[in-house]
Amino acid sequence: MTNEFQNIPLSILDLAVILEGKTAADSFKNSLNLAQKAESLDFNRFWLAEHHNMASIASSATAILIGHVANGTTKIRVGSGGIMLPNHAPLVVAEQFGTLATLYPNRIDLGLGRAPGTDQLTARALERNDQAAFAFPKTVRELQDYLSNDNQDAPVRAIPGEGLNIPIWILGSSTESAKLAAAAGLPYAFASHFAPQQLHEALRIYRTNFKPSVHLQAPYAMACVNVTAADTTEEAQILATSMQKIFLGILTNDRKPLQPADSNFQMSPQASQALSQFLKYSFIGNPVDLKKQLTQFVQQTQIDELMVVSHIYNHEARLKSYSILKEIQNSPC
């Protein structure tokens, strides 16, 4: 049976984006409110991503924010998309997520990435070893050991954490992460919302080389995309200018808080071309068009789950965008 958009789980990625003229406290309030809305709409997961030294992102202390969101919801899965493992000792991650999983049983996901989630100078300020990314497979296994029942007689133990069934995901934006996820028999999430180039090849490698494990018997792949939904295409395109500005700032190293939507926003042809490649999997439009586009994306990729991020300045418009997304998935045609 082929995977279809109307049948697969829908999930949300949030970065606790800081809005121009607002504070990190406002972002945390909005993140919790979005998670509560997502729960009421039956979204599957709500993940938060670790980034550092970015004026537009407040999710740097990711585990703490996951706890805040989990405490304010009751059933939606909450997790990391992801924890950048080279920045942390595996034992600390095991203890933190063991604590979260103890407080919120059967609701916590641990997504792991190998990138620093920041620039090189900040990576060094995090006391990150320059070679840490190369040791990622080893540190993933070390983390798994701390969380396993088999670690009970080890000289170093994660308490709480040991023996808890915390799903570990491998996150990635390249084929290397796909190889690791396949070899380890773990679920795989691809960051196609900002790194679309290797999506299809990474999925092929993951599925072809997947080895069943005690964690997962068959490959399970999720892809993340950008979605901006509104009643009309024109409105959606205006709302999406906030997303375009924030990604343009990343490309030009002019990073600012998320800017308001701007109906007069224009880019140079060169910037527009660069951004179109960066944001290839960005779906912007009215409900009818979006359903066609997302249905095609799921059919082409055969993903098992779709994760969505929506960089929309107006919070009510962002809530509505996710509501429209669920409505079009549930609509019969």
- Distance separating alpha carbons of residues 195 and 190, to the nearest angstrom: 8
For residue range 23-39, what is the model confidence (pLDDT) as tens digits?
999 999 999 999 999 99
What is the rounded CA–CA span in Å between residue 284 and residue 293? 9
Are 186 and 82 a contacting pair, CB within 8 Å? no
Q: Mention the CATH class of domain 10-330.
A: alpha beta
Q: Are 282 and 321 in contact (CB under 8 A)?
A: no
pLDDT, averaged across the chain = 94
Instruction: Give the pLDDT of residue 1.
Output: 45
Token digits of residue 1: 């049976």
Query: Tens of pLDDT along 48-82?
Result: 999 888 889 999 999 999 999 999 999 999 999 99
pLDDT in tens, 278-309: 899 999 999 999 999 999 999 999 999 999 99
Nearest to 77 by CA among 106, 36, 98, 97: 106
> What is the per-residue pLDDT for 118?
63
pTM for this one? 0.94
Q: Which amino acid is at 208?
A: T
Q: What is the pLDDT of residues 96-117, one digit of tens each?
A: 999 999 999 999 999 999 976 5
**pLDDT tens digits for 188-228?**
999 999 999 999 999 999 999 999 999 999 999 999 999 99
Q: Which two tokens stand for residue 170?
A: 């491998």
